[in-house]
Amino acid sequence: TLSTLSTLSTRHYPDYIRRQNTTLTHNSEDAMLCCAKINLYLKIVGKRADGYHDIQTLFLPLPDLADELSIVPTSTPGLSMRCSEPSLPTNQANLCVKAAELFCQQLGIEPSLAISLEKRIPIAAGLGGGSSNAAAVLLELRRQLAPNTPDAVLQKLACRLGADVPFFLNPQSAVAEGIGERLRGINVHTPLGIVLANPGFPVPASWAYGHWRRVGGPPLPPLDELIAALRGEDWRAVAALCGNDLEHAVLDKFPVLGIIAAKMAKLGCAGIHVSGSGPTLYGLCEPAAASAIRDALQEAFPGFLSVYACQYRPGR
């Protein structure tokens, strides 16, 4: 199977992903929250013949930072999309539209749908926003149009849309292997404060993966050590075992990230790394300290950084 995570049925989808009676355009009665993620660990295992890279990574969902998405049927044939972020395309270049077209092709129907997306997750930032949106579209269209669609079909469609999309079908802490499609859930018992710092410029994943070998870094510790630390309650032990093979090229290309990371450390963060292909930095801290660190970091880089404070609470 493509995934060993629990069933993808929206009945079991984490409660924080769904929100009732939101006030999106179209007055949707049932909107979805599309959460962000960070990679506490990302190791490049090798490059495949098809151009993709095999990886070993550990995803942590961040429900405190999420986009809102709704889909409503329309009387007009075709797909339309509205997005609060004007720089994002609303045609077939958008993963939401691609996901909707793919799902309707699977059913053999012509879509008559309007998608509304309120963006809060930074774009091309290593936080999985586009992948999270695409997964939400698949789940919502299954709920609306074909509730009996098997999980395996949804997983295959997700894989066609992108390497991170399968994770967001059921965004719970998980290890991913292959190109990201082979998932197994893990238990996290460590309360974590997480500060995110996004500098506002994009880093395409293709660039990060294409340059990761050019700037070497120390080998990552074994992933099993991080998984074991996450079963405890010491956030500093977790911070000491995080890492990302992609970050060395990104930090070399954008030295300002090193300046930001140094300030995050001075303010009390540890385990400061690039998430995914970047450029967003995350730092771990005491959960109660995250908001104060966010405010101080924002003040230190006014008008430049977008800073977010999140908490990971076990059992959420």
Active site residues: 37, 164
Residue whose C-alpha is closest to residue 130's, from 102, 170, 89, 101: 89
Pure H helices in the chain = 95-107, 129-145, 151-161, 165-168, 205-211, 223-229, 235-239, 247-253, 256-267, 290-300
HSE-up of residue 54 (Cα within 13 Å, Cβ side):
8
Residue whose C-alpha is closest to residue 144's, from 66, 34, 63, 29: 29
Rounded distance, CA 267 to CA 263, Å?
6
Contacts of 178 (CB under 8 A, 6+ apart): 54, 55
Q: In which order are the strands placed within the sheet that holds 281-285?
A: 270-274, 281-285, 192-198, 306-312
DSSP 8-state secondary structure symbol assigned to residue 263: H
- Which letter, b or e, does each residue of 191-217 get, where b requires 16 or more Cβ atoms within 10 Å of its Cβ? ebbbbbbbbeebbebebbbeebeeeee
* CA angle at 287 for the pair 284 and 290, rounded to the nearest 5°: 70
- Please say whether the beta carbons of 270 and 301 come within 8 A: no
* Pairing outcome for strands 30-47 and 53-73: antiparallel
Specify the residue for token string 């720089």.
87
Distances from the Cα of 209 to the Cαs of 42, 167, 204, 222, 277, in angstroms? Answer: 12, 19, 9, 21, 7
- Please say whether the beta carbons of 132 and 121 come within 8 A: yes
